[in-house]
Amino acid sequence: QKEVEQNSGPLSVPEGAIASLNCTYSDRVSQSFFWYRQYSGKSPELIMSIYSNGDKEDGRFTAQLNKASQYVSLLIRDSQPSDSATYLCAVTERGSRLTFGEGTQLTVNP
Amino acid sequence: GAGVSQTPSNKVTEKGKYVELRCDPISGHTALYWYRQSLGQGPEFLIYFQGTGAADDSGLPNDRFFAVRPEGSVSTLKIQRTERGDSAVYLCASSYGTSYEQYFGPGTRLTVT
């Protein structure tokens, strides 16, 4: 079983819709959770971090964490074509290596 | 401020050669990480420095790979006797103190022919 699993994708949504990206992790000691956005040919860019159960909102992005279910998600509201990218879920124990999922490719159609 | 920088941006080398990849972290960041990413995969951890010392090198695939950070700032990843399977994008990230947010550099694309 992979340590971090994401929707296999690709995911395609129309402009203005909500995009929902999901991630599950296997290691119960994981304490910190991150979403990175990666455009084709570029490096990962941190867009959200979440450390405690519940929701965290930042602009059009909402991260949701449920440690009991070992589940973290990212919602993108009012999706724009510029949101088209691969979204990487990453988890870590305290201040150490990030373990990434394989990523979900999102396409927002105008 | 300036982000993480990596040089070179691209490196093409022949099988069996030695390469060095450099990472300059964000100023003041004490933790530095190396990852590598193959096409269609998420980044894979290689090694982590806290200050000058390697806090965790368990991700290095074999003894051909070595990394240093002698003054606690710039780090160099060294690969001996390169193999075609080493071809990937090598990413460096840094974080500040006890903050767990890691910020990535642009990466070095290594191609072994």
Exposed, middle or buried by CB within 10 Å (0-12, 13-18, 19+), for B34?
A: buried
Which pLDDT score is estimated for A7? Answer: 84
Return d(Cα A71, Cα A55) in angstroms, integer: 12
* Banded pLDDT at B88 (limits 50, 70, 90): very high
CB atoms within 10 A of CB A1: 5
- The whole-number pLDDT of residue A94 equals 67
Which tens digit of pLDDT belongs to each residue from A22-36? 999 998 888 899 999
CA distance A71 to A60: 20
Which of B42, B100, B106 comes nearest A32 by C-beta? B100
Which chain B residues touch A4 with a CB distance below 8 Å? 42
Q: Which of B102, B105, B106 is the closest to A98 by Cβ?
A: B102
Report the pLDDT value the prediction gives residue B99, as an integer from 0 to 100.
67
Q: How far apart are CA A83 and CA A86, in angstroms?
A: 9
* pLDDT exceeds cutoff 70 at B1: no
Mean pLDDT of the region B22-32: 95
A100 vs chain B: nearest CA distance in angstroms? 5
Model confidence over A60-85: pLDDT tens digits? 999 999 999 999 999 999 999 999 99
Model confidence pLDDT, tens digit, residues B35-77 = 999 999 999 999 999 989 998 999 999 999 999 999 999 999 9
pLDDT for residue A30: 81
Average pLDDT on B77-106 reads 93
What percentage of residues in chain B have a pLDDT greater than 90? 90
Residues of B in contact with A46 (CB under 8 A): 101-104
For A75-79, A96-100, B74-78, B80-84, which range has the lowest pLDDT when averaged over its residues?
A96-100
The Cα–Cα gap between B104 and A45 comes to: 7
Chain B CB contacts of A88 under 8 Å are 42-43
User: Are A43 and B44 an interchain contact pair (Cβ–Cβ within 8 Å)?
Assistant: no
- Region of A63 (left: φ > 0; alpha: ψ -120 to 50; beta: rest) is beta
Residues A5-59: pLDDT tens digits? 998 789 999 999 999 999 999 988 888 999 999 999 999 999 999 999 999 999 9
